[in-house]
Structure 1
Amino acid sequence: VDVGPGSIYGQYATIKDENPDLLEQIRPGFALAGGLAPVVAAAYLNALQLDANLYHIGYRMTTGPNTWVVAYSRLDDKRANNADTASYGVTYTYALSKRTNLNAVLTRFNNSGLGQAAPGGNGFLGGVTGTAGQDSTNIAFGVRHSF
């Protein structure tokens, strides 16, 4: 949707997977846990299942060779381990030509509960923090050339 000199956009998604494929691959190993098998299975099930809502909103503005994007996202984890994460950031792109850009990205991930998301390249999700609930910041600079 055009708003002022730029465009605003948003997304809402429900993320749900009650029967993850990986669980079937590791299920035979539960027998090795003996009497602890139900406890081990429950821990893996809770870790591998997905049940969350994702909210995202952003604004993009281009003026001449300059493009600015600001965005905010929130993952509301509905599982018992409650790994909520919110992220926000800004990107700036300067077009040197039709095929070459200079880029700068600043991203912040705020984790709560057992959330451990960390930004990777270009501010996208790219790893995990050292401990649950630890926040993370990413600053990146780059040059892109399209062939």
Structure 2
Amino acid sequence: MSFIDKWLKHLEEGAATILIALLTLTIAAQIFFRYFLNSPLSWSEELSQFLLICLCFVAATAVLKRGEHYSIDTFISMLPVEVRRFAEAAALLVELLLLVALAYYSFRIGALYVGTYSLILKIPEEVKAYLMSYCFFSMALHVVVRISKTFKPGA
């Protein structure tokens, strides 16, 4: 499981880097064409929106893997060590259940969007929902690994 977790981390961070580069190039091209050539691109806003949606979910997955999402652990940090481990595991279990539910429902939403396309680029609309479903599932895998690490001796 740890191997898959590390492999997913590298995949997600690489994808986020590529998405940032593509988003930057798309916006830079739009600025250049609009203000220097006085001929705006018709597709750049739609592509930028799509790339930003993808970036948000892929980056959220990578950030969750690193454990860098905001959290308030004041109460948990005051608990004794053994109780703290179970409280952290309980919080992670709630997080896992939420992520699995989000993965399931975003997959169902994707099925509703089958056959619909964006106006200019004709990107299938279900791609966004299926990407969300993948990201929620990937986050759930990262949480499973964190739960298993919570119960390892010396954790």
TM-score (norm. length: structure 2): 0.26
Question: Higher relative CO (CA 8 A, sep ≥ 6), structure 1 or 2?
Answer: 2
More strand by share: 1
More helix by share: 2
